[in-house]
Amino acid sequence: MTQRINYVQQSPELFKKFYDFSQALQECSIERTTLDLVTLRASQINGCAFCVDMHVKEAKIHGERELRTHHVAIWRESTLFSPRERAALAWTEVLTRIPEHGVSDELYGRVRGQLSEKELSDLTYAIMAINGWNRANVAFQTVPGSSDKVFGLDKANLS
């Protein structure tokens, strides 16, 4: 894979603002473990090799169990996720793949049964952010692992 353009260099002001937005999510009401699962799942759905690579490494650095990262793709069948995590993953999938009919009341009700209004709002912003990053990295074919040192992902010892 060869990167098409370096969007960070081409639009540094916009990158900085979007990066700052994404960094602000680190202080949101959703726990780090769930955010790791959400960013990994959206990246899998969107086929973003750079982001899947990044979020697996981040999850490991944050202490996530390796088997759970493997099970994110099959979360519905897996017994490794809590009801709250399942709700977050379901919300991630519906907002990443927005169906023609929109988000069903049934799904919204299930997710709201696990998350407060504030948490659901924060989660939605996190999903918006990862989908934006996925789109940029897929469009410009950002090479997986190419920013490991910059983001400290080399500490995951996954190469």
C-alpha–C-alpha distance, residues 130 and 83, integer Å: 22
Take residue 157 and report the two structure tokens written for it: 């010892």
Give me the pLDDT at residue 63, please.
Answer: 96
C-alpha–C-alpha distance, residues 120 and 50, integer Å: 26
Domains of the chain: 30-156 (1.20.1290.10)
- Give the burial string for 56-80 (b: 16+ CB within 10 Å, else e): bbbbbbeebeeebbebbeebeeeee
Give me the pLDDT at residue 104, please.
Answer: 97
pLDDT in tens, 3-34: 999 999 999 999 999 999 999 999 999 999 99
Give me the pLDDT at residue 158, please.
Answer: 86
Give me the pLDDT at residue 145, please.
Answer: 86
Residue with tokens 């049964």: 113
pLDDT in tens, 28-86: 999 999 999 999 999 999 999 999 999 999 999 999 999 999 999 999 999 999 999 99
- Residue of 74, 69, 51, 50 lying closest to 59 (CA atoms): 69
Give me the pLDDT at residue 157, please.
Answer: 85
Radius of gyration of the chain (CA): 16
